Structure 1
Amino acid sequence: MDLTLQGSLLDLTDEMTLRDLRVGTTRHPLALGAWVDVRPGWLAAGDELFAALLRDVPWHAERRQMYDSVVDVPRLTKFYGGDEPLPHPMLAQARDALSRHYAGELGEPFVTAGLCLYRDGRDSVAWHGDRIGRSRDSDTMIAILSLGSPRTLALRPRDGRPVEGAGGRSLRYPLGHGDLVVMGGSCQRTWDHCVPKTAEPLGPRISVQFRVAGVR
């Protein structure tokens, strides 16, 4: 399987850097007290980071009980707790930049990083909310840095209500190489999100999810 990445033609710099979150970040208010921030191209020239994570992270294939069978989880994962060093210095810079930017709203720093490797369009994550821990009852934020091939993040209300302006279907946010999305407010409690499968011939994508302590 070829997991190489074709570099972005949109980056105008060869230096890997995080762009200013105060510029280019758009907040999308959702129903039920939830919101989503999107910052396209937050990480510039991220090809080196993608290659390093692909090479150096000890990716783990999980299996999960589903009804009467145990099935393969359709992606590879690795979780880094708050007391573990991250696999690349840029991830620590990204975590700290997010903590500074959202300090006034969040009130605490991002401390953990969960990584997922979607090897191609067949890898996915089903509808869910990150409701393990404090996020089950309290508002929080989860910041996701997307690296590699573009994939869609879809959101829909947990209670099944129609989505205004989406024809009753889910909201869809296309995420490209270096893009950032932050789900905040009540989003984990009142909305579900997923990365759907696709038949398009896509290459690999790495998702880096930054969370606060006590939230999974």
Structure 2
Amino acid sequence: MKAAFQASLLGLDEELGLGRLGATVRRTHLGDGAWIDLRPGWLTGADTLFGRLAETVPWRAERRRMYDRVVEVPRLLKFYDEGETLPDPVLDEARAALDEHYGEELGESFRTAGLCFYRDGRDSVAWHGDTIGRGGTEDTMVAIVSVGSPRPLLLRPRGGGPSIRRDLGHGDLIVMGGSCQRTWEHAIPKTARPAGPRISVQFRPRGVR
């Protein structure tokens, strides 16, 4: 998949790998048991990984029913279920590092990986929570690693309210935990401004979508 991409000047000479977690992770409590963790630049050499994923992942364009019509999903998708081989070894390393850091708090491992390819500012995802399966009734975690050009991730209380913005790309990690999927919503909005391509990798426990 070809996409116009402006690499980060800071990441041109970095080797592909992972930084530390631990004290480098900053947690923000949102209320009602919801929180987010942010670790900027966790994945070094992220522009290299973006290029690999853009070219090698078997991306799919999907159509979904919305009310009385079927529409194109405004992004490309690929889901890796339990036991499926991830498209790059560094993603296995990332999942193992997340398990080590969050395993005691989460009480289980991250099992699946969903990938989204936002090709430009016209691609987006509407307000939602990952409430299919256990995420609709139980506290859980969703860990997202972003590579490519930064795009804003917005979060707001479910039902509306002031939103929080985090610009994510070039190897940033955000983890949404606690009741976040039930009590908050998140979105990647469309933008008319020039926006380069971004790929997000969402690690989730079993039974959370």
Q: Same fold (TM over 0.5)?
A: yes
Alignment match, 1:37 = 37
CA–CA distance in 1 between the matches of 2:67 and 2:99? 39
Alignment match, 1:69 = 69
Residue 185 (structure 1) shift: 0.2
Alignment match, 2:191 = 198
In the alignment, structure 1 residue 214 sits paired with structure 2 residue 178: no
Instruction: Tell me the TM-score normalised to structure 1 length.
Output: 0.93
Q: How does 1:1-216 map to 2 (within 5 A)?
A: 3-11=3-11, 14-160=14-160, 162=161, 169-216=162-209
CA–CA distance in 2 between the matches of 1:73 and 1:10? 33
Contact 1:81 1:112 in 2 (8 A): yes
Contact 1:25 1:39 in 2 (8 A): yes
Contact 1:115 1:207 in 2 (8 A): yes
CA–CA distance in 1 between the matches of 2:67 and 2:180? 27
CA–CA distance in 1 between the matches of 2:13 and 2:100? 24
CA–CA distance in 2 between the matches of 1:49 and 1:65? 33
**Which residue type is aligned with residue 27 of structure 1?**
R
**Which residue type is aligned with residue 172 of structure 1?**
R
Output one character per residue of 1:126-163: Cα deviation in whole Å (capped at 9) or x when no partner. Answer: 00000011111100000000010110110111133x4x
CA–CA distance in 1 between the matches of 2:14 and 2:135? 38
CA–CA distance in 1 between the matches of 2:12 and 2:56? 27
Residue 69 (structure 1) shift: 1.3
Residue 107 (structure 1) shift: 0.9
CA–CA distance in 2 between the matches of 1:81 and 1:56? 17
Contact 2:32 2:183 in 1 (8 A): yes
State the superposition RMSD in angstroms: 1.4
CA–CA distance in 1 between the matches of 2:85 and 2:163? 36
CA–CA distance in 2 between the matches of 1:175 and 1:35? 17
Query: Is the strand fraction higher in 1 or 2?
Result: 2
| Unpaired stretches in structure 2, ≥5 consecutive residues | none
Name segments (4+ residues, structure 1) moved above 6 Å.
none
CA–CA distance in 2 between the matches of 1:193 and 1:201? 22
| Unpaired stretches in structure 1, ≥5 consecutive residues | 163-168
Contact 1:120 1:202 in 2 (8 A): yes
Helix, strand or coil: the match of 2:11? coil
